A and B are shown apart, each in its own frame.
Chain A
Amino acid sequence: MKKEEGKYFYCAIKSKEEKNFGKIGLNNEEVYTIPYGDIAAVVSDSPMTDYELTEDNTKKHENVIKEIMNQYSVVPAEFGTTIKNEIILKRLLKKAYNPTAESLKLVENMVELGVKIVQTDKTVLVDDQQKKILTSEITESLKSKAKEAKTCDLFSERLVLNASFLVNKDRIDTFSEEIERLKNKYQKLKFLYSGPWAPHNFVYIKIGTEGVEIKKSGSN
């Protein structure tokens, strides 16, 4: 069978070496690094296709990143990023070397933790002002245990808070303890706590028509 020239791009890591992570990629392809200087792209061979944003595909994408996160800090690439061939990928890495290296520094030893707070039948938070006070109180107390925080889209009317926190791996326990304390304090609210994830909400690589972009928290 003809080897695919396209490269599905999962994330960037700090590494000079060519490394193989096994057949854990999309379409069960081998995941490996393509280094440029002291950074490397983690990729698998792939046809140039528009990957559907299905649960299976996103899980596979995220599982690869999680596996890499066991050994490295990562700057994730946007889901579905496929590059025509290795030569183009290396050109992109060259072009985006400085922002990628900077971003890798920002997320070194960091993970993202997600917190969603949901109203239950028992909760009555009709007042917007009441909601605002509550969310800012919770966000501030969690922010104190994190390096950065980002509030995300309230995609459901049931959601009171949807936020992500960039937390040092060594402080995950402290952050989790704070979640427990808040859970006890606000027993009528339901907390959904997830992670550790790659820091998608704080930094990610986006490749578009204008080349490669590194999106950092707060930048559009």
Chain B
Amino acid sequence: MSKESADKKVGLDRSFGGLVRTDLQSGIPVETFYSPRDVAHLEYEQDSGDPGEYPYTRGIYPRMYRDRLWIKSFIVSYATAEETNQAFKDNIASGQTGLRCLADLPTQSGIDPDHPSAWNAMMCGGVSTYALSVYERMLEGLPLEDVDYELAHSSISSALMFYGMFPALMENQGLDIARLRGANINDPFRARLVYNTPEWPNEINRRICLDLVEFSARHTPKWKAIAPNGVDPQQTGANVIEELAGCLGVATAVYGELIEKRGVSLDDIGATVFSLDAESDFFETIAKFRAARRMWARIAKEKLGARTPRAMSLRIGIRTSGMSLTTQKPLNNAARVTLQILSCVLGGVNSLDASSIDEAIGLPSLEARTFNLDAQHIVTHEANVPMVADPLGGSYYLEWLTDHIEKGVNDYLAEIEAHGGMWNCLESGWLRKNIEASRMKAQLEKRDRKRIIVGVNAFEGEGGLINNAISDTAYKVPTEEDRRRNVCALQELKQRREPRKVKDTLTELFRAVKEGRNVVRPTIEAVKAYATIGEVVGVVRLGYGLNYDPFDAVDRPAFLDELR
């Protein structure tokens, strides 16, 4: 053999690619196997129960997916209302069964497209839904009654404004708002902890969140006006314990205040919805869903006075992890998302927003969306996974892990109480500090290759034609010309609407804010008059004696001068 060919000889290492850790993604150490000894302290009736029975560990319906498959719901929100409308229609044809709406980042921060800070994120990450005129185009031809809408917006101001769009649209068309179905996140903790948008301080968020939950309980009973959110805290860095404790803490804090101050009981509300994350760690994710249902049932019954089974049941809405997706070799994201879908179905979730393989690069292309709908159809019809409820129930490992997560979450909730409760922990920065520590721990594990991300810190290799095609076909951000057209459309709307109606409805909103009345009906009327997000946000601020503009960069419009 020549020296040259000896140098080219391939070495083969039997241990290459072996395990690099013995704990789960959230740092839960696990044994090599589990046996009846590890679950001997658990009682079937008390800790599991059959599906549809308290404490709902195994699912909230007796027949689970045989009667109702999870809702296949994902955010559809592109740069323009027209593209978004078309995408909704195309996705419905491929099997989407729930409609999730979002807005671009300026809108979610409470400012209009003509605000000086809006330009560089305008129409990025979603439609610039500054007023009802945009919703009319975005949802044109789509049903409003008896279908599931979900609003995923970051801020409480967006929750108020975009909830308001639905009664406004429905009443304008002579439809019955009691037949509005769906949920919005409206989580004042996530709004501060994750997004920290500047438009409203906690004091306003806390009040408006309750206004919305109260109004919805009375007028749109099939709408869940709060869905405590663990997805975004986890995407920010929280581990599974912090995620679940956060959701339970939020629900307890908000519903506790609702019961005490607004006279609405949990039995009036019915089922609670949590918006949870599906991460790549397979068993940890499944166990989290089971623990979430069991813990909520116990809290609702024991702490919040729920008496009806519905009020003790937790519906789980999912957004699969965007953080787990990579720009490197994006084809690998197909494997990640498929496993996350499987963990959701094995965990008995009720609504599923599966990310697309190109979402690390841009908003999803239609083909990528069709793929993740098809993946769910394959799980259903070819793999036959959903036929039997909680198929992993009784597994020594999974039952131990479900119990272990419940204990960890209870310990964390006790720590939150010891630090003064949820609101204090939010305001003191304690919650944030913990999430940041968890995020840094994860980052360092990645750096040290103790948390392997295939294609990023191990098994890098080169992508080829298929991977490049995925990158190339992801949705692109709007041009500056597109943005100019959007600002023009806003200006035209302001010319076209009836100034008297805008002024009167915003004045009534201002008074409701000042007088401590529920602001939701006045908001709906302002929305009908084509008031903009910036105006609604600004008028609420004025009602609290703040400057009109959260950025202090623009003056209040002259027609609102009298609001003092």
A and B are partners in one complex rather than unrelated chains: no
